[in-house]
Structure 1
């Protein structure tokens, strides 16, 4: 039975168990303010070396500073999670919070869980009074097109600090009004 609930500090180590395996056939990059699709072929297996541990540290800091962490469990196993940071970002004349994390285990994709968790993050953003969510998305076609279907739009000027952390990501925002 699948259960959605707030994540606790003790759940943070479970994030590494989310199966983010994916076969990527195409990616996007931004050129002159436009998304350009290009062929790319790689088979993502699990988490890159050290990334799960780094995510756990970043998300623990987010949790301790009042961020919002929500998960989907199949029994005791965390199979999906979404996280919204507490820090406000001002960009394009909007007050935003960053959606720091949205991952769905491979076996649970294609069932609407990504859209449902994204909608939960948007509900949270509205509740705390921000005008938009900031999304730094990996450049894979599936990920970029998922966020576009959720109503995300390309930022004209990414946040300099977030862009420095993820220069290859596609930096989006999703208005909440």
Structure 2
């Protein structure tokens, strides 16, 4: 049975233990304001070198500044987590909060955990007065289509700071009203 709870500072190192392995065979890019699917093949095994450590620093900063971090545990093992940043992003005429992190360990996918955590992130966004969640999603087909199923749409003009950080990401938003 999974235990669901907010994450504490001592949980932050556990985020790197989430198994994000995935075989990616198709990706999206944005051309003229439209999503275009193209073939791409890479076998994502764990975290790219240095990314887990970089993520830990970013998420610790997010936690310290009042961000919302929530996880699902199988015993002591963190198997899924979602993070919403406290910083307000103005886009699409809305005050948004960034969905900073949403990962489900490979063995736990396909059970609705991603949808559950995304719904909780939306609920948190509403509680703090956000008009939408801003999502900078990896370009893999599975990821983009997951967010589309949750009600996300392409932003008209991606946030310049976030596009600089992840130029290949697909920038989406999910209205909360």
CA distance in 1, matches of 2:45, 2:83: 22
CA shift for structure 1 position 92: 1.1
Q: Is there any run of 5+ residues in structure 2 with no aligned partner, and where?
A: none
User: Pairwise mapping of residues 83-162 of structure 1 onto structure 2 (< 5 A)?
Assistant: 83-162=83-162
Distance 1:24 1:90 in 2: 32
CA RMSD for the aligned pairs? 0.4
Consecutive unaligned residues of structure 1, counting only runs of 5 or more, are none
User: 1:129: how far off?
Assistant: 0.6
Counterpart for residue 58 of structure 2 = 58
Deviation at 1:38, TM superposition (A): 0.2
Spell out structure 1 runs of 4+ moving beyond 4 A.
Answer: none
Name the residue aligned to 2:172: 172
Q: Show CA shifts across 1:8-36 (max 9, x none).
A: 00000000100000000100000000000
**What CA distance in whole angstroms lies between the structure 2 residues aligned with 1:89 and 1:156?**
14
What corresponds to 2:163 in structure 1? 163
Specify the alignment match of 1:47 in structure 2: 47
Distance 2:8 2:83 in 1: 12
Please state how far the C-alpha of 1:82 moved relative to its aligned partner. 0.1
- TM-score when normalising by structure 1: 0.99
Number of matched pairs? 177
What does 1:75-90 correspond to in 2, within 5 Å? 75-90=75-90
